[in-house]
A and B are shown apart, each in its own frame.
Chain A
Amino acid sequence: GAVVSQHPSRVICKSGTSVKIECRSLDFQATTMFWYRQFPKQSLMLMATSNEGSKATYEQGVEKDKFLINHASLTLSTLTVTSAHPEDSSFYICSANSDRGGAYNEQFFGPGTRLTVL
């Protein structure tokens, strides 16, 4: 099946530093990738939609200068949390639409990245 990986799986950083999270589609090309954040016992909240080679579309309330998204290739998207603060601590999950023409709009999710900002 379609596999999406994320790296790192967990990261701990000091307040004020920047953290980069990678999302890769391993066996398919993803024209569109999505970034979500999830707080404990809550649902997934879409942060942004990224298309290869173009600027990401951010959801209302998401600071695009704080959460930098780059979708440089059909298999890689990165999320950089700039000047991270403790309130940015969360579970970040990416997903990707497969280009294999399977189930309509089927999204495949990565395993998530646990970010803890001290």
Chain B
Amino acid sequence: QQQVKQSPQSLIVQKGGISIINCAYENTAFDYFPWYQQFPGKGPALLIAIRPDVSEKKEGRFTISFNKSAKQFSLHIMDSQPGDSATYFCAASTASGSRLTFGEGTQLTVNP
């Protein structure tokens, strides 16, 4: 019940296209859903995060869509650029603590 399922495992997108990564969770106590970007050999960096009281959050080219009833959330990267090529992780945590549960990761490649 603590798992967060992420798909796809890998994604190839052309420059200028839209990258979409999906995550699903079971634990209804989760109330914080961040997305992290990780480049090879580096630590993860927070991209954008959402709480269940909103269905969408947008920051620049990055948008999180959240569907509470379906227990799913997704990351949309608009106008994808080669510099966006990285591994993306979704995560979730509960109100009672700050322990993050990570998805399996998606390796995104944006071709020029």
Binding site for B on A (CB under 8 A): 4, 6, 32, 34, 41-44, 46, 49, 91, 93, 95, 97, 103-112, 114
Q: Is the interface of A mostly helix, strand, loop or mixed?
A: strand
**Stretch in contact with the other chain, from B12-20, B37-45, B77-85:** B37-45
* Other A-B pairs, 9, CB within 8 Å; known A43-B89, A106-B46, A109-B44: A6-B43, A44-B44, A104-B51, A105-B32, A106-B34, A107-B100, A108-B46, A109-B36, A114-B41
Measured between alpha carbons, how far is A114 from B45 in the docked complex, in Å?
Answer: 17
A-B CB contacts (within 8 Å), total count: 51
Measured between alpha carbons, how far is A108 from B103 in the docked complex, in Å?
Answer: 17
Task: Pull 5 A–B residue pairs with CB atoms less than 8 Å apart, ordered by A.
Answer: A41-B105, A43-B105, A91-B41, A95-B43, A107-B100
B51: A residues at CB distance < 8 A: 104
Tell me if B11 counts as interface (CB < 8 A to partner A): no
Q: Which of B41, B46, B102, B105 contacts A112 (CB 8 A)?
A: B41
